[in-house]
Structure 1
Amino acid sequence: MDKLKVLVTDPIDREGLKSLEKHQNIDLHYEINPSSDKLEKALKGVGAWLVRSETQVTGEWMKKAESLRLIGRAGVGVDNIDIQAATLRGIAVINSPSANTIAACEHTLGLMLALSRNIPQADADVKSGNWQRTKWMGTELQGKTLGIVGLGRIGREVAKRALGFGMRVLAMDPFISHEQAKELGVELAELKRLLGQSDFVTLHAPASDKTRYLINKDSISWFKPGARLINCARGELIEEAALVQAIESERLAGAALDVFEKEPLRADSALRKLSQVILTPHLGASTQEAQSKVASELSESVIAFHERGIALNALNLPGFDADTLKSLGEFLNLAETLGRFLGQIIDSGIKEFICSFQGDFKPSQRRPLFVASLKGLLSTMLAQGVTYIS
């Protein structure tokens, strides 16, 4: 097996990267926050490039990294990576979606508690010399309704803990069935109903064209009067000007935000002047444990890519999430081997490729198996290396 050269250009927890350092067929290099000249030199022969959010991985840099086959983001957001350019060049883009789940979940709950009991405001007031118990009267979570927009990994963990507080939980997620929601102990609801019945609303949806400004002037009018809003997901989900207006008019009792439309938050942002709003500087994943988990998860993905050619959690290869691939076991290798075998015995061109399944394979498992078998087939016919992306 050839050695894989891995380049790290952003600060990533080195303890979590130890498995890469120890791997006999991986050559790990660090070039943290390099200049353009140093980066160009460092990218020569690099097969995997690991970053956080500081390094801008553009199409131009990909052209200069001729051996590049994998880009890994230590974290979730990939705004700094040109995924389209990577896909066109057959480069897999992966992230670490589950490593910061607990950290983001706990930060959400922390903000909700701080919001309900006015903890930051009371702390600042006491430190300024005051003692005003009645001014900071709060509200309990028990018996209240929490609306969760987005029931992915983080949303589900928040739901579990909210149920532990004795809250009723409503959730909106187009990819969750009523049966799944029932198993989690939550009730599915459309956005308008969720906002209208919830005392607290927390956002855990991804940023997309469909979700941009999900919370805007119109949707804020659907909120239950006096409700409180928490956002530890993506800043683009909220139209900040509309939120400021809702707080100032007392339509909403308060908000707690960890993410913003533009970061860092502008010094003159109206949000900074609202005492009913709690602000934190994008701390959702900022725990020692999460940073180590992010690096460890990314290391595991790099090793799986090098040893098995599998890009776990590839963002430009839908259906190849880690859980699905783990459930397939050796069937993925078998599918690719069968594809190679087919490529070696056919003696004509290919007009159509059909993959048939025998056995109990879920729909989510069939796409990876189809792609694996097609990869095996094409690898026997094309001189250029075939990847799962290409």
Structure 2
Amino acid sequence: WEKKRFSGQEVAGKTLGIIGIGRIGSIVSQLAQGLKMEVVAFDPHIRPEMAEKLGVELTDLDNVLARADYISIHTPLTAETKRYVNAELFNKMKDGVMVLNCARGGIINEQDLFEAMKSGKVAGAALDVFETEPTDKEHPLFSLDHFICTPHLGASTIEAQENVAVAVARQISDYLTKNEVRNAVNVPSVSEETLVQLTPVLNLADKLGAFHAHLTTAPVDEITISYQGDIADLDTTPVTISVIKGLLFPILREEVNFVNAPILAEERGIKVTESKSKTSEDFTSLLTVTVKTADGANTLAGTIFGKKEPRLVRINHFCLEAVPEGHMLLIYNKDRPGVIGRIGITLGEANINIDQMQVGQDPHHHRNVILLTTDDSVGPDVLSRLLQQDGVEKAQAIEL
């Protein structure tokens, strides 16, 4: 056989760059270190202490691209990560880099990868996922000798199938013999009566968590949840989990449920604390959630109107009353005449209708927070135009 044609390279001593150091990325980093590779990673949602615990150097994306001999992608496919790895990123990589994607199809711009491989910038690539599946047999990448593709068969082993069967059998046995239910997918372990009382609050908690996800710009250090009033008398464990679930899903874009939400938070080094008080000054029940990061802290408070209507009643020190759902627009502005009018005109020119608007005031600093619900989502171009308006300090789209 042609030895020169099939010569490879050793990975020991090489640098592996991981984009996305979540559950799978963490496992890959451990395996790579077992092969004596240096591991550097980029993940804006992981705290440095967690990376240090994994033995991984957490750094910015450009540094990962510049240093890595191999790059492995482990991010979810979202609007932000679609074709994320493109010509711009390939140009920042080392010459002769190897690229692997076993996460989701569509994260890599496949045409840009083809061009990078043809030019020699990328010495080799291995994919088991594609943007379009089934993939066209005439896909340009298939014509390259230094491209490897396989089916997405990570769990298709004899051992994996046996382990799943044994796990299911044990869970059924535990239920029949011990009345113990393990690994329920989406139902908290509380009585039916309590669940009926908590259902509106669970929805509110999920919305507050999701709202926080839009406000968070750095890895989360701590979630503090305060229960005041009547709700303090109930078992609030599922409410706390709903907050975590609502916060993590928009960030991770993977399956987050009542079972794994606390585990995912623990894996990311997020501290979760609760407090309860039977007194509440303004509302029968009040749920307050504070999320702390290295950049600071944000606080949201909500309550239930009537029997089941969720309301957001506080954003930091701004008081308001808004329904937390749908396409929303959060604006911080100086409290001066004409600002709200200019915001309305800008949205109107973009053919975006305002359904609801709430204004919270800070009279001491002459600032407002405006929270609008719109018929359509507000895109980057409209946000940019809003920020050009006199008096508008910050504008952010929020999807709930």
TM-score for the superposition, normalised by structure 2: 0.49
More strand by share: 2
| Structure possessing the higher relative contact order (Cα contacts under 8 Å, 6 or more residues apart) | 1
More helix by share: 1
